[in-house]
Structure formats: C-alpha cells, structure tokens
Amino acid sequence: MEKFQRGKGNGLTDLITSFWQTYNTLIYTIFVHGMLALSIYITLACGQLSLGNAAFMGIGAYTSALLTMKMNAPFGLSLIAGGMMPAAVALIIGIPTLRLSGVYLAMATLGFGEVVRVAFLNMSITGGSLGLNGVPLKTELWHLVLVIGIFIYFFIRLRDSRFGRILEAINEDEVVASVMGIKTTYFKVWAFTIGAFIAGVAGGLNAHFTFFISPREYGFEPAVDILTFAILGGTRTLWGPLAGSTVLTTLPELFRFLGPYRLAVNGLILLLVVLYLPNGIVSKETFKNIKKIFNGSGCLN
C-alpha cells in the first residue's frame, strides 16, 4: 500500500514525495503501455498486423484478478497465469488465423477481440458489464521494472538469435522465407503467442493497481491505441514501441493545463510525427537528422 502521509524530510524530499503521490499511477501506466507496445511489436516484427492484443490483455487481466480475488493466489502466480491463459488462447486461434495475412489477419483478430469483449459481458464470473470491483492493490514499481526488464532482455537476445532472424526473414518476404525452408506459419504462431503472453501479463499488472476492470477497457479503442504506440514509435527496433507508448501516455497529462484543447494538441503532435517521421520516432531518419544537427550541416531534411 502506498503511503499517503506527508514526507517529513527537507523541501526536496517533500517535492519528490508529492510528485510520486500525484503521478505514480501515470508512471505505472507508462510501464504497462510499454509492455503492450512490445506485445504488438513482436507480431509486427514478422509482418503480421494483429488487433487482438487488447483482448489478450483483457483475458490476462480477468484471469489474474479472479485468481487473486477468488482463490487468494500469490501475485506472482496469478501474473504468470494471466500470461499463460491468453497465450493458450492465442495458440488455439493462431493456427487457423495466421494462415491469413495482411488485412485479413487484422480483420480476424478484430473479430476475435469483439468475441472476447462480448464473452466478458455475458459471463457471470466476470461480473458482466458491471465489471470486477475490488481488485486488491498489489502492483508495485519494482514489479513493473522487473517484468519489463525481463521482456526487454528477451527482445535484445531475440534480435540476433535464429528465431529473431527467422521473424525478420518472414517480415522481409514471406514467400522467399518459406522457399528457404522456414515453416512460416509455425513461427508466426510462436510470435503471436508470445505477444499474447506479454499482453496478458501487462493486463494482470494493470488490474492490480486500478482496483477495477470492466469489458469496455478491452474493446476496439484500446486495440487501436496499442497499435498507435508501435506505429508512432517506429517498428524497426524494440525501442520504437517503448518510445511511442511513453510519449502517448505522457502527453495528455503534460497538456492537462490546456484544458479542453489538450486532445487536439495531442492529435496535432501525432499528425506532425506521422508527416515528418513516417517510420516513427525511433527510426533511421531521426538519427540522421540528429546527426545533421550536431554536425551543423543544416536544417531538418
């Protein structure tokens, strides 16, 4: 449980305490959104557009929240279960759907997301549209840092591994990859399942610091949000989605002083990024431009 007492130290610790008290949920959310961005990054890394990650997050959130609430399961266990459950679902639906590609996969996963949302609405164990109230407060900062650290380490190791290279090959040209003897569907299902696991864990962590979950948090809108994290940040490296999710989570809070205009400004910034950095914030152009500026060789592009 976080402490609400005022800090008794000097001015600086007071300042830090009050900052932390005000913004800790925001910081937690940045971490969770970072994980969600990574969960879609792994499918994008092999050229697949999946819009089912919000649903996977939901499955993970409900699984882990129900485990801690009804069975008194330890937090670590319920988090892992929150990852395994959507991974199992992803395995089952991935085998048929990942034979589809491009826009058809996006449509299939979108449909899957709707199915999951409606299932949450109609099951009695999930509380229907009233949601699950009273999820205990368990998530702490170190959990989030540890979990995202593990995921980032996994992605760094993945980059130069055989699996990573295979995903890249599929991304560059699926036909060529299959001609070279790669079982493309097999590896795509793996990427999809890992993505679902990550989204599920993120959902479990999120459920345990917001006290409450309901089906409307895992519908179409969050699915698009997750995709935007990755697109805005850039999908060539793993740092892109992380940068995208951090920026998109922080901006609305930074612009709060603008009142009703803040969402407009938010949209404007997105527009500018898409116009001038079409490959995302973390992309080759950005580094080139930064280098240019440092070399004094002129303006942007």
Residues that bind another protein (CB under 8 A): 1-2, 4, 18, 21-26, 29, 118, 121-122, 128-131, 133-134, 137, 210-212, 214-217, 252-253, 256, 259-260, 262-263
Q: Compute the least distance from the CB of residue 69 to another protein, in Å.
A: 13
Only one residue has tokens 């803040």, namely: 262
Q: Compute the least distance from the CB of residue 129 to another protein, in Å.
A: 5
Instruction: For another protein, give the closer residue by CB, 176 or 263.
Output: 263
Instruction: For another protein, give the closer residue by CB, 143 or 208.
Output: 208
Instruction: For another protein, give the closer residue by CB, 17 or 289.
Output: 17
Instruction: For another protein, give the closer residue by CB, 122 or 161.
Output: 122
213 φ/ψ angles, rounded to the nearest 5 degrees: -130, 150
DSSP string, 177-205: HHHTT--HHHHHHHHHHHHHHHHHHHHHH
Q: Compute the least distance from the CB of residue 153 to another protein, in Å.
A: 27
Q: Which residues contact 219 (CB under 8 A, 6 or more apart)?
A: 54, 113, 114, 117
Q: Is 124 exposed, middle or buried (0-12, 13-18, 19+ CB in 10 A)?
A: exposed
User: Measured between alpha carbons, how far is 265 from 78 in angstroms, rounded to an integer?
Assistant: 39
Q: Compute the least distance from the CB of residue 68 to another protein, in Å.
A: 16
* Tokens of residue 216, six digits: 């409307």
Q: Compute the least distance from the CB of residue 2 to another protein, in Å.
A: 8
User: Measured between alpha carbons, how far is 225 from 233 in angstroms, rounded to an integer?
Assistant: 12
Instruction: For another protein, give the closer residue by CB, 174 or 217.
Output: 217
Instruction: For another protein, give the closer residue by CB, 9 or 102.
Output: 9
Q: Compute the least distance from the CB of residue 29 to another protein, in Å.
A: 5
Q: Which residues contact 221 (CB under 8 A, 6 or more apart)?
A: none
Give SS3 for 248.
Answer: helix
